[in-house]
Structure 1
Amino acid sequence: MSRLDSMLRRLGAQRDGLNWAADAISDLLGDVLDLGLGNGRTYDHLREILPDRRIRVIDRALNCHPSCIPPEADFLQGEAEPMLTQLAREGAQFALAHYDLGFGVKDQDVAEAARLSPYLAAVMAPGGMVVSGQPLVGMTQLQGPDTIAPDRYLFYRA
């Protein structure tokens, strides 16, 4: 499979997974967390499918498209661990989180996701959902929508 085909498959899975998870949390209270703003495509999609929810964002740097800049109060710039720790101290409870942090090196990305999993779990509302491009630990893995190949995107219930 070409890298282009792989990217298209990943983006389709991400969109389908976020839509599926948004429907699944419709009766839960809590905000939304986007871990890894990147260029802002996912954040923009979350704004569209969950217009009544506050969306908090964590990333090392603000490098997104100008139309996708979160409100200043909702953007936490820095490393994920201290930002998640701060959110936990504030009592934040997220009904949905999207985990898309990484360095682009699979082994490092998997290790980082495992290390950050307890911090993410600490800010999830009971029954909240996590949509992730990396395997997480300490949460119940779910089977996502049928449109997504197994292990392409991962789904968890807190």
Structure 2
Amino acid sequence: MSRLDSMLRRLAAQRDGLNWAAGQVSGLEGEVLDLGLGNGRTYDHLREILPGRRIRVIDRVLQCHPSCTPPAADFLEGEAEPMLRQLADSGVRVALAHYDFGSGIKNNDVAEAARLSPWLAAVMQPGGLVVSGQPLVGLAQIAGPDTIAPDRYLFYRA
């Protein structure tokens, strides 16, 4: 599969997974957390499918498209672990999280996801969902929508 085809498959899975997860948490209290802002496409989609929910974003640097810039109070700039600790210490509860950190080097990305998993679990509302491009530990993996190959995107319930 070409890298272009792989990217298209990943983006379609991401969109379908987020749409599915938004429906699953519709009655659950809590915020939304986007880990990895990048260009802001996912953040923009989350605003559209979850109107009225507070969406916090964690990333090392703000470099998204201007139309996708989160409010200053909702953008946590820096390394994820201290940002997740800060959220947990302040009592933030997350109904839906999207984990999209990665460098493209699989071993490094898997190790980082494993390291951050306990901190992500600490902010999750019981019953909340995590949609992830990387395997996480300490959360119960569940089946996502049938339209997504099991290894393409991963789904977890807190």
Which range, TM-score by smaller chain? over 0.9
Alpha-carbon distance in structure 1 between the residues aligned to 2:86 and 2:62: 19
Alpha-carbon distance in structure 2 between the residues aligned to 1:85 and 1:95: 17
Alpha-carbon distance in structure 2 between the residues aligned to 1:73 and 1:151: 34
Alpha-carbon distance in structure 1 between the residues aligned to 2:6 and 2:86: 36
Provide the residue aligned with 1:52 in structure 2.
Answer: 52
Provide the residue aligned with 2:66 in structure 1.
Answer: 66
Provide the residue aligned with 1:88 in structure 2.
Answer: 88
Provide the residue aligned with 2:129 in structure 1.
Answer: 129
Deviations 1:16-37 (A, max 9, x none): 0000000000010000000000
Kindly report which structure 2 residues correspond to 1:1-158, keeping only aligned pairs within 5 A, or say none: 1-158=1-158
The AA in structure 1 aligned to 2:62 is: L
Deviations 1:101-148 (A, max 9, x none): 112211000000000000000000000000000000000001000100
Deviations 1:45-84 (A, max 9, x none): 0000001100000000001000000000000000000000
The AA in structure 2 aligned to 1:113 is: A
Q: TM-score, normalised by structure 1?
A: 0.99
Alpha-carbon distance in structure 1 between the residues aligned to 2:141 and 2:133: 13
Alpha-carbon distance in structure 2 between the residues aligned to 1:12 and 1:76: 27
Alpha-carbon distance in structure 2 between the residues aligned to 1:104 and 1:82: 23
Alpha-carbon distance in structure 2 between the residues aligned to 1:139 and 1:110: 15
The AA in structure 2 aligned to 1:10 is: R
Alpha-carbon distance in structure 2 between the residues aligned to 1:102 and 1:138: 19
Across the aligned residues of Structure 1 and Structure 2, the Cα RMSD in angstroms comes to 0.4
The AA in structure 2 aligned to 1:93 is: R
Detail structure 1 runs of 4+ shifted over 4 Å in the superposition: none
Q: Gaps spanning 5+ residues in structure 2: where?
A: none
How many residue pairs match? The answer is: 158
Q: Gaps spanning 5+ residues in structure 1: where?
A: none
